[in-house]
């Protein structure tokens, strides 16, 4: 009998930091420092990539390229990218611990899955040094994983599948059929798809929805439903097998996947 043996969760916007605000604020501040502003929407469009790659992507936006050239009289270089990355890290490290609170439902659901024998892995666009802040801060609030992989010593981060495979090695999970990737960005979805694992997107608290808990509570129901539907559409178009409102729906999705895998096995044996 095949079944899901391991779930691999993203961090900001998926497990902690409702709405994924820590990196957004740091990207905006780092570009404001040189008088070439980027918007929250622009930063969110590339969320889930490694942070240095997101800075490259932001510099490569036509509007940003033009604004930089107008201000400095030249095109941006890799030195400019590296300088913004240094500034981004400075801002992020100053605030990161404050954005490590688990998203509602995460702690209890993950513990229930762990008790059911499922291993808990994780991937992230943060570096190892950033996670040295996030992991203990989240643990104090009750959220713990069995393994955390960053892209520091891998060929690349998302959307490439290497962090998923590293989790599989570290946690001794032998088949992609038995792995589920769970995340809140399009990059998360593509990471799971490229790894050929079951891929589930989450809407509430996500980077894609881009709302605080207070904004969610205050928003008219029809407007919130429309925004959620749009996020769901984007995630499904990116290749997600399932999209859930929140993590409390994940155990039922896992049960459905387990049933589908074993129904397929029975059919192919006939």
* Whether residue 10 lies in the annotated active site: yes
Q: Can 267 be counted among the known catalytic residues?
A: no
Q: Which residue is catalytic, options 51, 119, 190, 228? A: 51
Tokens of 63: 């509007």
User: Residues 2, 3, 10, 129: which is the catalytic one?
Assistant: 10
C-alpha to C-alpha distance for 7 and 61, rounded to whole angstroms: 34
User: Other CB atoms closer than 10 Å to residue 222's CB: what's the count?
Assistant: 8
The b/e string for 70-92 (b: 16+ C-beta within 10 A; e otherwise) is: eeeeeebeeebbebbbebbbebb
Instruction: Give the residue numbers annotated as catalytic, written as ranges.
Output: 10, 51
């Amino acid at each position: 009998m095949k079944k899901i043996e391991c779930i691999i969760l993203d961090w900001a916007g998926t497990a902690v930091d409702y709405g994924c605000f820590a990196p957004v604020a740091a990207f905006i501040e780092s570009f404001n420092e040189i008088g070439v502003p980027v918007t929250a929407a622009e930063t969110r469009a590339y969320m889930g990539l490694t942070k240095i790659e997101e800075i490259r992507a932001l510099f490569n936006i036509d509007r940003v390229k033009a604004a930089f050239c107008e201000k400095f009289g030249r095109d941006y270089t890799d030195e400019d990218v590296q300088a913004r990355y240094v500034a981004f890290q400075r801002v992020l490290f100053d605030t990161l611990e404050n954005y490590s609170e688990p998203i509602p439902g995460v702690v209890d659901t993950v513990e229930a899955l762990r008790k059911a024998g499922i291993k808990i892995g994780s991937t992230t666009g943060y570096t190892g040094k950033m996670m040295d802040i996030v992991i203990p801060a989240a643990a104090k609030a009750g959220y713990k994983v069995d393994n955390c992989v960053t892209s520091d010593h891998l060929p690349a981060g998302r959307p490439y599948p290497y962090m998923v495979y590293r989790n599989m090695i570290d946690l001794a999970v032998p088949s992609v059929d038995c792995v589920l990737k769970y995340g809140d960005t399009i990059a998360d979805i593509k990471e799971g798809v490229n790894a050929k694992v079951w891929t589930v997107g989450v809407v509430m608290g996500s980077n894609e929805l881009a709302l605080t808990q207070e904004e969610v509570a205050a928003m008219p129901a029809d407007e919130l439903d429309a925004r959620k539907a749009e996020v769901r559409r984007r995630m499904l178009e990116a290749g997600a097998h399932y999209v859930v409102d929140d993590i409390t729906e994940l155990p039922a999705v896992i049960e459905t996947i387990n049933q589908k895998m074993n129904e397929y096995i029975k059919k192919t044996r006939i």
